[in-house]
């Protein structure tokens, strides 16, 4: 084998090198896209779950150590190929339905979902009752002592 032929075989031809680089680039882009997909899915899940320490923040908003650990668990489980539903069910099993930032409509959460409407209805009922009583009230006549006092006040000069 000649030295020139050996050199060409070692280096490879331009189309082969270009093809090899294209394959490497595609593989790198696919890995980056998968990582971005996992990050997006993690962000969506973290925004739908409640921080058990802060309780008024999502996992995405909280910096509590437990929230950081829960986000890490989400990332790990997504990396293992688990679905969002499976991960949400895992956290519900571990922490209860309260961990969901939008709790499901079930008997244990009926008060949470219906409570504001019940309070609103009770407020309207109390308002209606107060207004209807006010309209039926008859004026009470003044006693003679109250009439004299009112007349004296009216006769006084304000200056």
Q: How confident is residue 16, by pLDDT bands cut at 50, 70 and 90?
A: low
Give the lowest-confidence range in 22-26, 30-34, 124-128.
Answer: 30-34
DSSP string, 76-120: HHHHTT--HHHHHHHHHHHH-GGGBSS---SGGGHHHHHHHHHHH
**Class for domain 1-104, per CATH?**
mainly alpha
Q: Residue 152: pLDDT above 70? A: yes
Cα 143 to Cα 140, 148, 150, distances in angstroms: 9, 9, 11
Q: How far apart are CA 43 and CA 85, in angstroms?
A: 14
Domain boundaries, the chain: 1-104, 105-159
Cα radius of gyration rounded to whole Å, the chain: 37
Q: How confident is residue 34, by pLDDT bands cut at 50, 70 and 90?
A: low
| Averaged pLDDT, 71-97 | 90
| Averaged pLDDT, 138-147 | 88
DSSP secondary-structure letter at 140?
Answer: P
Q: So what's the pLDDT on residue 112?
A: 79
| 3 state DSSP class of 143 | coil
Q: So what's the pLDDT on residue 122?
A: 96
Cα 112 to Cα 37, 105, 109, distances in angstroms: 34, 9, 5
| Averaged pLDDT, 50-78 | 88
| 3 state DSSP class of 131 | helix
Q: How confident is residue 86, by pLDDT bands cut at 50, 70 and 90?
A: very high
DSSP string, 18-84: HHHHHHHHHHHHHHHHHHHHHHHHHHHHHHHBB-TTTSSSBTTT---HHHHHHHHHHHHHHHTT--H
**What mean pLDDT value characterizes the chain?**
80
Residue pLDDT, tens place only, 112-138:
789 999 999 999 999 999 888 777 767
Q: Residue 103: pLDDT above 90? A: no
| Averaged pLDDT, 34-48 | 80
């Amino acid at each position: 084998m000649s030295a020139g032929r050996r050199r060409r075989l070692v280096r490879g031809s331009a189309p082969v090198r270009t093809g090899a680089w294209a394959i490497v680039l595609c593989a790198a882009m696919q890995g980056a896209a998968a990582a971005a997909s996992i990050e997006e899915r993690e962000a969506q899940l973290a925004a739908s779950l409640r921080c058990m320490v802060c309780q008024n923040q999502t996992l995405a908003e909280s910096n509590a150590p437990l929230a950081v650990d829960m986000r890490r668990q989400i990332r790990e489980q997504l990396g293992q190929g688990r679905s969002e539903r499976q991960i949400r069910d895992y956290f519900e099993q571990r922490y209860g339905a309260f961990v969901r930032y939008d709790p499901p409509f079930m008997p244990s959460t009926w008060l949470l979902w219906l409570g504001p409407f019940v309070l609103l209805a009770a407020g309207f009922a109390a308002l209606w009752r107060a207004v209807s009583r006010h309209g039926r009230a008859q004026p009470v006549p003044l006693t003679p002592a109250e009439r004299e006092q009112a007349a004296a006040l009216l006769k006084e000069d304000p200056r």
